[in-house]
Amino acid sequence: MSSSSGGTQAVDRAAALLDLVVRADEPVRFTDLSDETGLARSTTSRLLAALERTDLVERDGSGGYVAGPLFALHAAVHDPWPQVARVARPVLETVAERTGETVHLGVPRGAGVLHVGQVESAYLLSARDWNQVDVPAHCSSLGKVLYAYDLLPIPSGRLERRTDHTVPTGDALQRELATIRRQRYATTIDELETGLSAIAAPVEGRDGVMCAIGVSGPTARLQDRVADFGRLLVQQAGELSALLGLSRSTQPRESPTEEGVA
């Protein structure tokens, strides 16, 4: 294992240090790095100096190591959502594999839902590619989740009526959101289009819920498995949340009441 590298010991070790620093959500102390990697302190010092010289890591005021300018540049230049989608891909694929249905990753944009990631269903009859389609958020399970966690402005008054089952008003939507928050997943059954259903669950980042994952497909296949798929989505969303929240140390964090920097 540790030997199968093949002629790049120093680079591998430096990469291990860098990995620890970037994955941590708070500055990492020299000794922790030295201990975790098992490297001699002198080696650790030399490698970290090299990483700092090349802008891959940086030291904060108190001497801890954090991701360096090169990471800041990358993050500044690239839209975050495609990056989230890349991180989420394995989770979406797991859900697709276990449900057989089309899986989506939805994020808030303006007053609607933007689909930034998708894995196709194996079935012939399945939800189409939603990436280009403009779907009212109140007819979408992803949209309902985003509403429920204050990521979209909740509309009032009468809502666009797509089918007989569409949530009719802002008030009715409000009432449903309480249920969604309680069971941690949202559903839309024949609400967007007759015969089309979807289920979705919230994904947390370090500042609370940030996006949602969900499945969609024919009501005929989904209606008897809502609770099943709901549980699966909640669990997989948790996996993804763990990745995106990084090591939240020890914070269960129940309430999403997070107030922006303002």
Partner DNA sequence: CGAGATTGTTTCAGGGGGTGGAACTGACTT
Partner DNA sequence: AAGTCAGTTCCACCCCCTGAAACAATCTCG
Contacts to its own copies by CB under 8 A:
5-8, 10-12, 14-16, 18-19, 22-23, 25, 46-47, 49-51, 53-56, 67, 69-80, 83-84, 86-87, 109, 114, 131-132, 134, 205-206, 243-246, 260-262
Q: Nearest approach, Cβ of 194 to its own copies (angstroms)?
A: 26
Q: Is 239 exposed, middle or buried (0-12, 13-18, 19+ CB in 10 A)?
A: middle
- Torsion, Cα of 95, 96, 97, 98 (10° steps): 50
- Which residue in 8, 156, 223, 247 binds DNA (CB under 7 A)? 8
48 counts as binding DNA under rule CB under 7 A: yes
Per-residue 3-state assignment (H helix, E strand, C coil) for 183-238: HCCEEEECCCCCCEEEEEEEEEECCEEEEEEEEEEEHHHHHHHHHHHHHHHHHHHH
Distance from C-alpha of 255 to C-alpha of 199, rounded to nearest angstrom: 22
Q: Nearest approach, Cβ of 23 to DNA (angstroms)?
A: 19
Distance from C-alpha of 257 to C-alpha of 149, rounded to nearest angstrom: 9
Partners of 198 in beta bridges: 188, 216
Considering the complex, state which of residue 15 and residue 243 has its C-beta at the smaller distance from DNA. Answer: 15
Residues sharing a CB contact under 8 Å with residue 154, sequence separation 6 or more, in sequence order: 147, 170, 173, 174, 177
Q: Nearest approach, Cβ of 189 to its own copies (angstroms)?
A: 27
Partners of 212 in beta bridges: 106, 202
10 counts as binding DNA under rule CB under 7 A: yes
Decide: helix, strand or coil at residue 105: strand
Decide: helix, strand or coil at residue 81: helix
Which option in its own copies, DNA, none does residue 63 bind, with CB closer than 5 to 8 A by kind?
A: DNA
Which option in DNA, its own copies, none does residue 29 bind, with CB closer than 5 to 8 A by kind?
A: DNA
Considering the complex, state which of residue 30 and residue 71 has its C-beta at the smaller distance from its own copies. Answer: 71
58 counts as binding DNA under rule CB under 7 A: no
Q: Nearest approach, Cβ of 205 to its own copies (angstroms)?
A: 7
Which option in its own copies, DNA, none does residue 163 bind, with CB closer than 5 to 8 A by kind?
A: none
Q: Nearest approach, Cβ of 49 to DNA (angstroms)?
A: 6
Q: Which tokens in the block code for residue 88?
A: 């989420």
Considering the complex, state which of residue 64 and residue 256 has its C-beta at the smaller distance from DNA. Answer: 64
39 counts as binding DNA under rule CB under 7 A: yes
Backbone angles phi, psi at 261, to 5 degrees: -65, -25
Residues interacting with DNA, by CB under 7 A? 5, 7-13, 29-31, 34, 39-49, 63
